[in-house]
Structure 1
Amino acid sequence: MNLITTNHIIKFSKATLMLFFSFFGLLVMYSNITDYTTNYEYLSHILSMDTIDASSRYSERAITSPILQHRIYWLIITFEVMYTSFCILGTYNLYKNINSSSKKFHEAKKFAIIGLLIALFLYYLGFQVIGAEWFNMDQSKQWNYKDWAQHIVDFMLPSLLYLAIRIER
């Protein structure tokens, strides 16, 4: 008798992908909290738009208030804590239900999906849309998160689709 089925491997792969995202979230949170100053400096340059062409007609969008910059940085950290927490809870629920019925396993995905949606909100909307389009961080040679965020989104979005689609039987 074959103990490992394709269905079981699919469930295992979905739970393991969420484990990867949980680990990634923990590393990002750890970095932002333990090396607050370096990461804040990065964000400060993006928000103040001080490393893009000074003649840019969009420079009035800059946020130069250190208090507001710190608050925005803590908002980013809050989103990281939220998505990581949901991803960890989702990972736990997926592994817990790996041998459950297809319907129960599918229902166990909800926290994982919420976690990935929050992460996509942060990395796509926060960094790629607001950071690159509003604060023009893609024009800075040194202080630019656009490619980094793009790599994350390029991995997360198809993973979210794979996770959400009910292909388990």
Structure 2
Amino acid sequence: MNHLTTDQIIRYSKVILMAYISFFGLLVMYSNFTDYATNYEYVAHVLSMDTTQNNEKTSYRAITSPLLHHRIYWLIITLEVTYTVYCLMGTYQLFRNIHASAKKFHEAKKFSIIGLLIGLFIYYVCLQVVGVEWFNMDKSQTWNAKDWARHIVDFMLPLLMYVTLKIER
């Protein structure tokens, strides 16, 4: 361990943390493809707003079409696949450039940054903003992923900041 410099450890930590979030993406993708019905049911209930407190002032927001449920769920799956692929490519690029110059290592962060931004779009914008604020997902006792999504954002956002920092020498 004494032969590693702090700069090398920082570089390795960025690769390792990107590998963690990529692994999470792979598990989410696996779940979406192997248990489509359960995950579809979640999306359908949130969009239908059928397990939230029925309020006439907000019920007009509900989407009750199963066709739209499937389309929206496939959009989410597509975004999750895209986020995962970018994060995997970012992890690979960082690892490939781990011993490169600071400039080259910094440039290798592009895919990681794009992947994390897509991930934040999914888990913050889609779930926390649209799911909670528009479809009242947080009012459902059964189909509420607000806290789950918040935990992901709580990891992704600091990771995005950490990866983008140009502190390598």
2 CA distance for matches of 1:128 and 1:20? 22
The aligned runs of 1:19-168 (5 Å cut-off) are 19-168=19-168
2 CA distance for matches of 1:121 and 1:56? 29
By how many angstroms is 1:57 displaced? 1.4
Q: TM-score, normalised by structure 1?
A: 0.98
1 CA distance for matches of 2:12 and 2:98? 7
2 CA distance for matches of 1:22 and 1:111? 12
Secondary structure in 2 aligned to 1:52? Answer: coil
Runs of 5+ unmatched residues, structure 2: none
Name the Cα RMSD after superposition: 0.8
2 CA distance for matches of 1:152 and 1:56? 32
2 CA distance for matches of 1:65 and 1:38? 17
Secondary structure in 2 aligned to 1:64? Answer: coil
2 CA distance for matches of 1:163 and 1:105? 11
Residue deviations 1:107-140, cap 9 Å, x none? 0000000000000001000000000000000000
1 CA distance for matches of 2:111 and 2:71? 27
Kindly report structure 1 stretches of 4+ aligned residues shifted beyond 3 Å: none
Secondary structure in 2 aligned to 1:57? Answer: coil
By how many angstroms is 1:21 displaced? 0.8
Q: TM-score, normalised by structure 2?
A: 0.98
Secondary structure in 2 aligned to 1:168? Answer: coil
Residue deviations 1:140-167, cap 9 Å, x none? 0110011000000011100100000101
Residue deviations 1:8-54, cap 9 Å, x none? 00000001111001100000000011000000001110000001112
2 CA distance for matches of 1:135 and 1:53? 11
1 CA distance for matches of 2:75 and 2:109? 26
Runs of 5+ unmatched residues, structure 1: none
1 CA distance for matches of 2:103 and 2:28? 33
By how many angstroms is 1:3 displaced? 2.7
